[in-house]
Chains A and B, each alone.
Chain A
């Protein structure tokens, strides 16, 4: 299913990533720090788009997967002093297992109930973290002894290339035959079944892949921040930001989600002088973009091209 628009999109994306890798030559450490966070959020949003845009399932709880991964990694490092790479693997694994435990029963439900289940999962995780404060740091947060590196540039490059690699894998998956089956399952499960596809199997696979990238990105973010807290990784509003970034970037585009994440973080920063009004303004802007351009930024960028294609 490799066709020229796909190649073109990947080429453009490659140029953008290479250009972004040269940014440290010009911009301040502060801006690099913001972009580092934006790139991790980009991965969250791409993983979410795989579920929503392709499998057709609205996961209102992306932070359940992110938080499970992040806190598992953080706790292992904080309590057992395991090396970072072990914590990263364990965090990712925990997110996948958590995703499976959630998705196996939830995928039997139809319509809005899947989304509600995922939302409740976030609340359960959040409560668990607060209640078991001895292990998790509770509402104050969890501090980890190790960090990836203290160099802002190195952190930036790690985030950028992690995001690029995740993007390539998720994008390739979405354009592969399996991605096509997934899209058919999401759009019309009855018909997909009648064509001989085991819909549950494909949706479960999508959920696992989404959980894998969410968990890994969440774990990495802990070792970038040097801490984990509900407010930055688990809270429902964090999940809403992930979702808004994906929708802003463009549903079913995977790569668009990164644009959305960078936009959201950049806007919150630019509008910081507005104080309490800044979030209000960002979300209002997001609302307008979604209402006027339901295909998102990516849709706007590729529309001109598609209309030329017969």
Chain B
């Protein structure tokens, strides 16, 4: 088997502090073969890629390129053994033209090479032609569309003709047409004999390209096989879609404010430079309602929440109890009761748990504050015992609880939770899930939950929106989700 496999990974382990990010991952890729490595956010798939490239050092395990052990070498050495990587974010040299950016990747790693080898120019042009950049050779990267920037990254990665090509989220941020063109390019590279590893969130997006798929969840392999086999695998289905849903959803007509919902997002669009992050998105939330917005990475969830919180400029209108929020400052929005627990948690890591909570309540009277703290400690008993510990020393799950608790300290009317499950183990998710259910049952706080983990997003939701490529493509009750929209989440 060693003859046919260019890349052989065996028993790979990686720890970050107390977190085991990668646990016993093994995989093989042969020449002219594409392996899809898929897993939800925080499953460790990007770490596997970094371990192969040498950007992170594995704690244990073996990485072999054409039968040569490379595990533990610095990445520049692994690159020279024949591994190329296409990063998810393109970071070209902005003062250099496209052709110069490609030439960079062709330069030898020598301090004595002060004059460019004339062959370099010819080769750079050939590579540019290969990936379809010939028309824009002398342009600066800042003047190019996003798809072309991705092509520059591909061009750099294949410049040294690597045997193994690692591609992180190949289609993130691309339109459907660009995605098709990009797929064709990757297929051609496979036909040229490169061994390709595609890292992505779900099987569906890479199903057409891959020969085999390896699915990961919280650091461990859970399934391997053809795209169809993995998609029909029970464990994979449970991880991505959850088990059967006990429908407890309350119908919209049961809420008091049916005429004028508490929050209305009306045809909102957001652009980041050239990229459209939200397109004509309309959602609404009633008082006391639990609404989930489901979408993969990059679908636009965080942008939507930031627009509501007044953190990014937008076109369209967002209204709270009928009043437009456009000219209201982010701080004012939060004090008026729309509070976000951000994806990055953004805790003050050197402050204690108690200090973090107190900061959330600086506008409350001392009496209100202690009542609020008591309620929260009852809701999150673990935080009571951790009061005097620095927030940075908490486990990931405890930090997430603290983030939610701090948001609740502000006595929100609407609590926005952005990907609370990111990187957390299933057992922690269950605890947080129970707390959310209690919030739903015992308070009138509305909750807007953004998730790509469908298992977590559906059980408590009264209504679900599906966000894909900046647009709402489905909405309905959670018990209809699996049948009508679930296929896209495998």
Contacts and interface: CB of A to CB of B under 8 A. Distances in A.
Interface string A1-38: 11000000000000000000000000000000000000
A194 B54 CA distance: 8
Given A180-B104, A310-B138, A196 B160 contact: yes
A177 B109 contact: no
Interface stretch (A74-82, A197-205, A214-222): A197-205
Nearest to A192: B76
Contacts of A177: 103, 107, 113-116
Interface string B167-179: 0000000000000
Given A191-B91, A193-B75, A197-B76, A176 B114 contact: yes
A2 B100 CA distance: 11
B146 interface: no
What range describes how many residues of A lie at the interface? 20 to 34
B79 interface: yes
A231 to B, nearest CB: 37
A187 interface: yes
A178 interface: yes
A236 interface: no
Interface string B54-94: 11000000000000000000111001100011010001010
B119 to A, nearest CB: 13
B55 A190 contact: yes
A194 B93 CA distance: 15
Interface residues of B, number: 32
B105 interface: yes
A181 B104 contact: yes
B91 A195 contact: no
B111 A201 contact: yes
A180 B124 CA distance: 15
Contact of B75 (A176, A180, A188, A194): A194
Contacts of A173: 114
A193 B77 CA distance: 8
B38 interface: no
Contacts of B156: 195
A275 to B, nearest CB: 42
Interface string A132-163: 00000000000000000000000000000000
Nearest to B79: A196
A252 to B, nearest CB: 7
Interface in A168-191: 172-173, 176-178, 180-181, 183-184, 187-188, 190-191
Interface of A: 1-2, 172-173, 176-178, 180-181, 183-184, 187-188, 190-199, 201-202, 205, 252, 310
23 contacts: A176-B115, A177-B107, A177-B116, A178-B110, A180-B96, A181-B109, A184-B93, A184-B104, A190-B75, A191-B91, A194-B75, A194-B85, A194-B87, A195-B76, A195-B156, A195-B159, A195-B160, A196-B109, A197-B107, A201-B111, A202-B111, A310-B138, A310-B139
Given A193-B55, A194-B55, A196-B80, 12 more contacts: A2-B116, A178-B111, A180-B93, A183-B96, A190-B55, A193-B79, A194-B75, A194-B85, A195-B76, A195-B79, A195-B105, A201-B111
